[in-house]
Amino acid sequence: MEKQVLRLKVNGEEYEIFIHPKTLLVEAIRDHLGFTGTKRGCDTVSCGACTVNVNGMSVKSCSILAVQCEGMEVATVEGLEVNGKLSPMQRAFLDNGSYQCGFCTPGMLMSSTAFIDELGGKKPSEEEIRESIEGNICRCTGYNSIVRAIDAVAQGKYKEE
């Protein structure tokens, strides 16, 4: 297979990269575009550390090919902060101590941000919050501080700045 040109939008910016068609989205993001905020923690689509949002949907970027995202909008953890202003979820994570080693945090933030966006203002149950991050493993926190952060954002305690 020949290398090919891929055009996609990452965090609002247009990119054009020349990649092998079997390149995974996570490899394109990390190795070709240099967005190393997105992590990899397994080889079996199990851990969620590589979660990004593609056209608003949270996706494990090790589970799809980069070329499948031709023309799409990809958001990574680096896109959550805008001009030095942290997103509501980022601020909630800080206030609740919802991270420790930080390796799962980018994926956790992307899953929870997509979850809040999909809710469109609806208040979720605790069970729904927990299910929204079921695909993301955190070995440090025991999740409860993350659940508190997501709940605080869902309850409208953090506004966009």
Partner 1 sequence: MSHKNFSVINTPVHNIDGIAKVTGRATYAFDVTLPGMLYGKILRSPHPHAKIINIDTSKALEFPGVRAVVTGKDTLGIKQGIWRRYEELCDEQILPLEKVRYIGEPVAAVAAVTEEIAEMALDLIDVEYEVLPAVYEPMEAIKKEAPTIHEGVERNINVTRHIEWGDVDDAFEDADYIREDWFKCSGQHHMCMETRGAVSSFTPEGKLTVYTGTQSAYYHQGLLAGVLGLREGDVRIIAPYTGGGFGGKFELDAAQFCSAVLSMKLNKPVKIVFTREEDFIASKRRTPMFYYVRTGIKKDGTFCARESRMFSNGGAYTGMGATALYLTGFFHSFPYKWRGYRYDGYRVYTNTMPSTSMRGFGAPQAMFCSEQQIDWICADMGLDPFEVRRKNGHTEGYEVPGQAFIASCGLEQCINEIEKWVKDKGKLPANRGIGISSCGFMSGGIFNWFDSPYSFSSAVITINVDGTVELHVGCQDIGQGSNTTMAIIAAETLGVKMEDIKVHSGDTDHCPADLGAWGSRQTLMTGNAVKMACEDAKKQLLEFAYAEMGINIVYDLDIKDRWVHIVARPERGMKYEELVKKALRGKDGQRIVGRGYYTPHRKGMISPAYSYMMQAVDAEIDPETGKITVHEVMTAHDCGQPINTLGLIGQLEGAASMALGYAYLEDMPFEDGKMMNPNLVDYKIIKAPEMPHTPIIEIDTYEPEGPYGAKEAGEGLTNPTAAALGNAVFNALGIKMKELPITPERIRKALKEKKEEEAKK
| Amino acid (one-letter) located at 13 | E
43: contact with partner 1 by CB under 8 A: yes
Alpha-carbon distances of 3 from 23, 49, 114, 144, rounded to whole Å: 10, 27, 32, 44
Alpha carbons 158 and 161: distance in angstroms, whole number: 9
In the bound state with partner 1, the residue whose beta carbon lies nearer, of 70 and 85, is: 85
Cβ neighbour number for residue 97 with a 10 Å cutoff: 12
Pick the binder of partner 1 from 5, 7, 56, 144 (CB under 8 A). 144
The secondary structure of residue 90, as a DSSP letter, is H
In the bound state with partner 1, the residue whose beta carbon lies nearer, of 71 and 110, is: 110
In the bound state with partner 1, the residue whose beta carbon lies nearer, of 42 and 57, is: 42
* Interface residues toward partner 1, by CB under 8 A: 30, 35-44, 46-47, 49, 76-78, 80-81, 86, 90, 93-97, 99-106, 109, 127, 129-131, 133-134, 136-147
